């Protein structure tokens, strides 16, 4: 298994360049959520050259639509959704300065190339570990697109949020490195 | 005729969706533990530990095990000697879903129209209801909140009869291989063979309700389930797609009579949160 590295957001390109595929990372600070509908709106704004509702420079975006927060809890269940659906919107967001995406599953070559160019990483959180992941989310706020419900952009305040580097800023991809070691067919 | 109040159906639906979203079946939990012991990948073992821990937290704290609390799919076997009184049957089901998703703090994931507006219905209705009329005076209800990370990786193929057993086997294994890490492995693979396009899809979905440690009662199909599972677990995909020998927990096949010219196959994939619950009224 890779090293365990603690990082705090926002991050610099230098921090990102040090992360390698397979590293276990514990994220603290703020992360923003966004999935299908919010991504579409963000990219529409970028194309219209309008201001975004959030300053994404040096930030991470987490592909998640959390469950509503139960009274007394800090967060609802909040595991990753499948990332490829955000591929068509990701390149312009990387150009806006997003330094990391958190999700699960495969990414397109265009996204990986833009990550290399801009110095960004793709983190994996364990899909379906939503109740466990919620333990590291200390506070949740909606910051944009409240009308989208679970798909709104939320700001999560996290402590030691557990992820693994799937694709690093050089394009090394854990999905291509690990499974072949166990392939027997 | 035995009379059953619509209210009782509503309450049953509500209880079942809450239970299914909070509590993973003991069959799945035991299988996850067993596979964790056998898993060769260290990362894979760590992922399985997280999943097991997650499922225990969800059950103890009554919170959703996965934030995708699914599309509400309901299978009803309605005894023909039952009369439903004091309300509308379909509305009772939708109201049960509405109350479960509201009171259980479950996510509302349904859009009312798929292409233009995609506007959220905000109460996770309408449910998809599959109704069978059967002999007797009972109502059997089974629910499955179906997550779409895995639903999206499902596939249909109209094979030729000449493609035979090997053709079916290869299509199922290829579908899982293509899905890779996306459907949250270790997965449960539902396979519907035969019927028509919609019948194959329906039985593929229905066999996701079967426990992961139970095989088809027809020994020929049970053998095929084992053979497919063995090959799937040789793909190397592993837990969360990060490598390993645990890509699927189970392959569940159902079959149906089909046309002389056809061999329809549907692969309906379910993530490790293989949620279902049932009750008899």
Q: Mean of the pLDDT values across residues B141-150?
A: 98
Strand bridging mode A60-62 / A24-33 = parallel
For residues B162 and B159, give the distance between their C-alpha atoms in angstroms, rounded to a whole number: 8
- Whole-number mean pLDDT of chain A? 96
Q: How many whole angstroms from its chain centre is CA B97? A: 17
- Whole-number mean pLDDT of chain B? 97
CA distance B262 to chain A (A): 29
Q: Mean of the pLDDT values across residues A166-171?
A: 97
Contact B95, B11 (CB under 8 A): no
Distances (CA, A) of B52 to B17, B33, B49, B58, B123: 21, 7, 5, 10, 29
Residues from chain A that touch B273, judged by Cβ atoms under 8 A, are: 128
Interface of A with B in 73-102 (CB under 8 A): 73, 76-79, 81-82, 84
Nearest by CB to B107, which of A106, A126, A150? A150
Residue A152 pLDDT level (bands cut at 50, 70, 90): very high
Q: Mean of the pLDDT values across residues B150-154?
A: 97
Q: Mean of the pLDDT values across residues B185-211?
A: 98
pLDDT digit string, tens, across residues A36-55: 999 999 999 999 999 999 99
- Minimal-distance CA residue of chain A relative to B45: A1
pLDDT of residue B30: 97
Contact A129 B54 (CB under 8 A): yes
Q: Mean of the pLDDT values across residues B92-100?
A: 98
Residue A30 has pLDDT above 80, yes or no: yes
- Minimal-distance CA residue of chain A relative to B173: A185
Contact B251, B232 (CB under 8 A): yes
Residue A3 has pLDDT above 90, yes or no: no
Distances (CA, A) of A64 to A28, A42, A69, B111, B133: 17, 16, 14, 17, 40
pLDDT digit string, tens, across residues B257-274: 999 999 999 999 999 999
pLDDT of residue A126: 96
Q: Mean of the pLDDT values across residues A143-147?
A: 95
Phi, psi of B128 (to 5 degrees): -100, 120
Could you give the 3-state DSSP secondary structure of residue B157? strand
Residue A1 has pLDDT above 90, yes or no: no
For residues B20 and B68, give the distance between their C-alpha atoms in angstroms, rounded to a whole number: 12
- Minimal-distance CA residue of chain B relative to A63: B67
Residue B175 pLDDT level (bands cut at 50, 70, 90): very high
Residue B76 pLDDT level (bands cut at 50, 70, 90): very high
Token output for B232: 């799937």
pLDDT of residue B171: 98
**Domain map (residue ranges) of chain B:** 2-20+65-146, 149-274
For residues A64 and B167, give the distance between their C-alpha atoms in angstroms, rounded to a whole number: 37
For residues B184 and A82, give the distance between their C-alpha atoms in angstroms, rounded to a whole number: 9
Question: H helices of chain A, where?
Answer: 13-18, 36-47, 87-95, 109-118, 130-134, 174-177, 179-182
Q: Mean of the pLDDT values across residues A20-31?
A: 97
Residue A2 has pLDDT above 70, yes or no: no
pLDDT of residue A20: 96
Q: Is A154 among the residues known to form the active site?
A: no
pLDDT digit string, tens, across residues A83-123: 999 999 999 999 999 999 999 999 999 999 999 999 999 99
For residues A173 and A181, give the distance between their C-alpha atoms in angstroms, rounded to a whole number: 14
Strand bridging mode A153-167 / A137-144 = antiparallel
| Strand spans (E) along B82-238 | 82-85, 128-134, 139-146, 155-159, 187-195
Q: Which of A25, A27, A39, A63 is catalytic?
A: A39
Contact B105 A70 (CB under 8 A): yes
CA distance A181 to chain B (A): 7
For residues B166 and B160, give the distance between their C-alpha atoms in angstroms, rounded to a whole number: 11
ipTM: 0.94
pLDDT of residue B235: 98
Phi, psi of B145 (to 5 degrees): -75, 115
pLDDT of residue A9: 97
The CATH label, of 3.60.150.10, 3.20.130.10, 3.40.190.10, 1.10.10.10, for the domain at A52-136+165-185 is 3.20.130.10
Q: Is A13 on the interface with B (CB under 8 A)?
A: no
For residues B252 and B224, give the distance between their C-alpha atoms in angstroms, rounded to a whole number: 10
Could you give the 3-state DSSP secondary structure of residue B189? strand
pLDDT above 70: percentage of residues in chain B: 100
């Amino acid at each position: 298994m890779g090293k365990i590295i603690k990082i705090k957001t926002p991050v610099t390109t230098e921090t990102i360049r040090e992360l390698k595929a397979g590293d276990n990372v514990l994220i603290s600070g703020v992360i923003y959520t966004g999935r299908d509908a919010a991504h579409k709106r963000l990219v529409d704004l970028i194309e219209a050259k309008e201001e975004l509702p959030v300053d994404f420079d040096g930030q991470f975006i987490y592909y998640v639509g959390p469950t509503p927060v139960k009274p007394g809890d800090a967060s609802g269940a909040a595991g990753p959704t499948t990332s490829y659906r955000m591929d068509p919107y990701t390149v312009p967001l990387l150009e806006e300065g997003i330094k990391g995406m958190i999700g699960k599953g495969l990414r397109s070559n265009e996204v990986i190339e833009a990550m290399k160019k801009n110095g960004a990483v793709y983190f994996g959180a364990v899909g379906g570990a939503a109740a466990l992941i919620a333990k590291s989310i200390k506070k949740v706020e909606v910051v944009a697109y409240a009308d989208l419900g679970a798909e709104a952009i939320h700001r999560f305040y996290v402590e030691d949020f557990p992820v693994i580097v799937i694709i690093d800023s050089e394009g090394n991809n854990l999905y291509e490195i690990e499974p072949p070691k166990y392939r027997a067919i | 005729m035995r009379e059953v109040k619509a209210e009782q159906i509503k309450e049953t639906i509500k209880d079942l969706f809450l239970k299914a979203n909070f509590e993973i079946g003991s069959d799945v939990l035991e299988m996850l533990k067993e596979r964790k012991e056998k898993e060769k990948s260290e990362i894979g073992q760590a992922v399985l530990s997280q999943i097991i821990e997650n499922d225990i937290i969800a059950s103890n704290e009554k919170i959703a095990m996965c934030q995708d609390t699914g599309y509400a799919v309901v299978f009803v076997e309605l005894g023909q000697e039952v009369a439903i009184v004091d309300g509308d049957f379909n509305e009772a089901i939708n109201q049960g879903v509405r109350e479960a998703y509201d009171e259980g703090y479950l996510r509302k994931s349904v859009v009312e129209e798929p292409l233009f507006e995609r506007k959220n219905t905000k109460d996770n209705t309408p449910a998809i209801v599959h109704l069978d009329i059967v002999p007797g005076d009972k109502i059997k209800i089974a629910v499955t909140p179906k997550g779409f990370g895995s639903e999206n990786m499902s596939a249909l193929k109209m094979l030729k009869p000449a493609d035979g057993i090997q053709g079916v086997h290869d299509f199922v294994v290829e579908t899982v291989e293509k899905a890779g890490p996306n459907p949250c492995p270790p997965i449960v693979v539902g396979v519907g063979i035969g019927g028509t396009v919609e019948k194959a899809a329906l039985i593929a979905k229905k066999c996701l309700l079967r426990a992961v440690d139970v095989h088809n009662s027809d020994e020929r199909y049970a053998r095929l389930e084992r053979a497919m599972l063995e090959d799937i677990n040789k793909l190397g995909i592993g837990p969360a797609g990060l490598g390993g020998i645990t890509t699927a927990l189970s392959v569940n096949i159902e079959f149906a009579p089909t046309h002389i010219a056809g061999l329809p196959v549907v692969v309906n994939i379910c993530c490790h949160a293989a949620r279902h619950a049932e009750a008899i009224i």
